[in-house]
Chains A and B, each alone.
Chain A
Amino acid sequence: MQTYQDMVFSTAVRLLADEAQAEDVAQTVFLKAYERFDALRANPAAPGWLKTVAVNLSLNHISRYRRRLHFFAGWSGAEDEVIEPEFEVPDTLLDDLLAEERSARIEQALERLPSHQRVPLVLFHFDEMSYQDIAALLGVSMAKVKTDIFRARAALAKLLVEEQS
């Protein structure tokens, strides 16, 4: 458990943006792992299993404990595929900061994004999931995922630029 607890907690907290809820999710992940202890003990796929369970439980947690209708209103609208131009940010964005400080700024900015933007963004950039996999996981169209990730990036860039200035 000690080996993977940071990984499981990080996965949950980046999706949920709430440490207490992330701890609850991490606890549930390890309790589920304990039920399958014999199968997972010497299994090289155990970290992947833990991460997948953490992602799924975090998404369940979001849909259960936040205002469900409001949250899914963000997900549900089917949108036509819109190819939006990639925006530019200053080359010097957060350049003056140490790596740890830069990470902390990004983490803080992520926490300020709404769930329907933060979740696909985290799944895409942190967990390196494809648009298709994210769309399947969230039960929305791929166009919707692309649009939400684009808007999340724009919102994140704005927050980081504001922070810097």
Chain B
Amino acid sequence: MRFAHWLSYEMQRMPLRRAPATLQASVLAELARRAARPWWQRHFLQWPLPARVAFLLLSVLVTRLALELGSWTAAALATSLRDAREGLTLLSAFGRVGRALIEVVPVDILYGTAGLMVLLYGALLALGAVAYRTFHE
């Protein structure tokens, strides 16, 4: 006998497996738990009509606000970009002034100034450390 045919024959005749006795009780318990849930935790279609209407109106309002906020942000961004472009123009003017100064001021004075700035920066750090140790600890 071909095993496939035998298997089909046997399987078709097999009785159903008996469901556990706890199945029905667990389904009913879950249904009771769901029925006891407050309305806002249920499916939207099961919400009370006023709540559904209020939710839809609120959604429309929030969407409208979001759109307004989007257009306001876009306008603010455009303004910022324009300001930034003006800032770049100002920066290039400073650059031109700096280049002119380098050409006019002797190199020794430039190096001396840079050294003094580093020294002052170090002094500021040291002062900060002393102040921290004195007042914090």
Residues in chain A within 8 A of chain B (CB atoms): 1-2, 5-10, 13-14, 19, 23, 26-27, 30-31, 34, 86-89, 91, 93, 99-100, 102-103, 106-107, 125-126, 128, 153, 156-157
- A1-B24, A1-B27 in contact; A89/B17 too (CB < 8 A)? no
Q: Are B14 and A106 within 8 A (Cβ)?
A: yes
B13 touches A (CB below 8 Å): yes
Q: Does A103 contact B15, Cβ atoms closer than 8 Å?
A: yes
Please tell me if the beta carbons of A31 and B27 are within 8 angstroms of each other in the complex. Answer: yes
Q: Is the CB of A23 within 8 A of B22?
A: yes
Residue-wise, chain B 20-40 has the 8 Å CB interface mask toward A (1 for contact) of 101110110011000000000
**Interface class of chain A by DSSP:** helix
Is B6 interfacial (CB 8 A cutoff)?
A: yes
Which residues of the other chain, A, contact B20 by a CB distance below 8 angstroms?
9, 19, 23
Closest to B15 in A: A103
* CB of B4 within 8 Å of the partner chain: yes
Taking a contact as CB atoms under 8 Å apart, the answer to whether A86 and B3 are in contact is: yes
26 contacts between A and B (CB under 8 A): A1-B24, A2-B24, A5-B19, A6-B18, A6-B19, A7-B16, A9-B19, A9-B20, A23-B19, A23-B22, A26-B19, A26-B23, A27-B27, A31-B30, A34-B27, A89-B6, A93-B6, A100-B15, A102-B10, A103-B13, A103-B14, A107-B17, A125-B12, A126-B12, A128-B12, A156-B7
Distance of A93 Cα from B4 Cα, bound (Å) = 13
- Taking A6-B19, A106-B11 as given, write out 15 further A-B residue pairs in contact, using a Cβ cutoff of 8 Å, ordered by the A residue number: A5-B24, A6-B16, A9-B16, A9-B17, A10-B17, A13-B17, A19-B20, A23-B23, A23-B26, A30-B27, A31-B31, A86-B4, A100-B15, A103-B13, A126-B12
- In the assembled complex, which residues on chain B have CB atoms less than 8 Å from the CB atom of A99? 13
B1 at the A interface (CB under 8 A): yes
Q: How far is the CA of A156 from the CA of B16 in the complex (A)?
A: 20
B31: which A residues are within 8 A, CB to CB?
31, 34
A103-B22 Cα distance, complex, nearest whole Å = 24
Task: Determine if A89 and B23 form an interchain contact, defined as CB atoms under 8 angstroms apart.
Answer: no
A88 to B8, CA, bound (A): 15
Given contacts A1-B24, A5-B24, A26-B23, contact A10 B1 (CB under 8 A): no
**A-B interface, 5 closest residue pairs, ranked by CB to CB distance from nearest:** A9-B19, A6-B16, A5-B19, A10-B17, A125-B11
Chain B residues within 8 Å of A100, by CB: 15
Whether the Cβ atoms of A153 and B3 lie closer than 8 Å is: yes
Write the nearest CB–CB distance from A73 to chain B, whole angstroms: 26
**Shortest Cβ distance from residue B110 to the other chain A in the assembled complex, whole angstroms:** 66
